[in-house]
Structure 1
Amino acid sequence: MNGATVTAPLVAAIEAAWTAIQTTHDDVPEVVVTIGSGSSAKGLRLGHLAADRWVRGEDAVHELFVGGEGLARGGADVMGTLLHEAAHAAAQARGVQDTSRQGRYHNQKFKAIAESFGLVIEHDAKIGWSVTALPAGAAAHYAATISNLDAAITAHRRAELHGAEGGRKSNNNGAAAACGCGRKIRASLAVLDAGPIVCSLCGDEYTPEN
């Protein structure tokens, strides 16, 4: 053993990658990097941006979560995840609402920002314009950063299996959801997860109350 840790070089490489993104896109704010389990009954979370989760003096700082399981994909795909989350950060800075359904559904505004960051974005029926790929041009632009990530990723987290008992329990009464004008509906969780339901009066999406 050479005494080197897994965590310190990895966090440093992720922070350096974020700085490289900021150099290209000046409205991407600073973040606090956290690494942990992305496994849950709902699937695997590769990354997540949580706005204003940290406090430094009188300032709020965003949190950048990176799922340890996703590190197994290598530096290029991790860079794609970081650019995806940086697009969310830029949307936050610009005052653009780029998601709905508690941040799960990615809309066309997110797609436009993410593509301007060099990503290829495809649609998924449940999570919207969220499926992310790093094309050759963006990979070439961040080649040194990706190489640095590859060198720092010396370990990754094992994915955990979640049985039915750990997942969402059925509810015959469904879930209550409200729109912008205050009207409410009740629908099954499966229906709400399938895609946006829009109010015909105000045009806002019905969002689950809990």
Structure 2
Amino acid sequence: MSGTVTAPLVGAIEAAWKAIQAQHADVPEVVVTLGSGTQKQGMKLGHFAPDRWARGEDRVHELFVGGEGLARGGAGVLGTLLHEAAHGAAQTRGIKDTSRQGRFHNAKFKAIGEEFGLTLDHDQSIGWSVTNVPAPTAARYAVEVAALDAALVAYRLAEPTGAGRKSNNNGVSAQCECGRKIRVSRSVLDAGPIICGVCEAPFEAEEE
């Protein structure tokens, strides 16, 4: 993207983040990055990554925004920013709000997300992660939504993900939070949680 597209877009995202910080003092500073959100397991709209950037002796968190999700417009992007800001607040508060390598959003995340004005629906695979912005929240950030809409003049096209590959008869690889891996049949993994004896987290299937 050219500077005339990128600079206003990043500026609008940063301004919206500052507006969220004004409402919630424990939302931390971030470095905004844009890129592809296409993944084998689904589209990544955003991600909060702690301590990814160095500024002298300090560490700064990263706010990633998936370019494909920009097609949803200002209100949709606001939902992503509020979602990631809730993760940022959890980091500040020392609250573990996810498991399964950050994919599964637990009830603690739901509570913070609702505190930030979101409504969150439950998904069996990712927990309380399905994010919606109700009308009162959109109205609270109306200036920021309008600025995002004005800046969203382009979005990233989704990439092919290789869907339709034949299944692997050798089972699936699963990983826990501490990084240990096992290989089991899909039917065994789907029958119920397999708990790691080290980190006490369930093994989750990896995309292959």
TM-score range, shorter-chain basis? 0.7 to 0.9
- The answer to whether 1:172 aligns with 2:170 is yes
2:6 aligns with: 7
Q: 1:133 to 1:187 in 2, by over 3 A?
A: same
The 5-angstrom pairing of residues 96-175 of structure 1 reads 96-164=95-163, 170=168, 172-175=170-173
The one-letter amino acid of 1:108's match is A
Change (3 A) 1:159 1:173: closer
Check conservation: 2:37, 2:45, Cα contact below 8 A: yes
Cα separation, 2, equivalents of 1:68 and 1:198: 35
Structure 2: unaligned runs, 5 residues or longer: none
1:198 and 1:190, CA in 2 relative to 1: closer, same or farther beyond 3 A? closer
Q: Note the alpha carbon deviations across 1:61-115, whole angstroms, 9 max, x for none.
A: 1110001111110000100000000000000111100000000000000000000
- Which residue does 2:193 correspond to in 1? 197
1:6-45 residue pairs with structure 2 within 5 A? 6-45=5-44
The answer to whether residue 187 in structure 2 is matched with residue 187 in structure 1 is: no
Q: What is the CA distance between 1:40 and its match in structure 2?
A: 2.1
SS at match of 2:4: coil
* Cα offset, 1:161, TM superposition: 1.8
CA contact (8 A) 1:37 1:69 kept: yes
Q: In percent, how many aligned pairs have the same letter?
A: 60
**Gap runs ≥5 in structure 1:** none
User: In the aligned structure 2, how far is the partner of 1:107 from the partner of 1:146?
Assistant: 28
Q: Give the TM-score taking structure 2 as reference length.
A: 0.86
Partner of 2:202: 206
Q: Is the 8 A contact 1:178 1:209 kept in 2?
A: no
User: What CA RMSD, in Å, does the superposition of the two structures yield over aligned residues?
Assistant: 3.1
What is the CA-CA distance between 1:174 and the residue it aligns to?
3.4
The one-letter code sitting in structure 2 at the alignment partner of 1:162 is: T
**Higher mean displacement: 199-208 or 43-52:** 199-208
SS in 2 for 1:60: strand
Deviations 1:144-164 (A, max 9, x none): 010010011111111112224
Tell me, what secondary structure is at the counterpart of 1:63?
strand
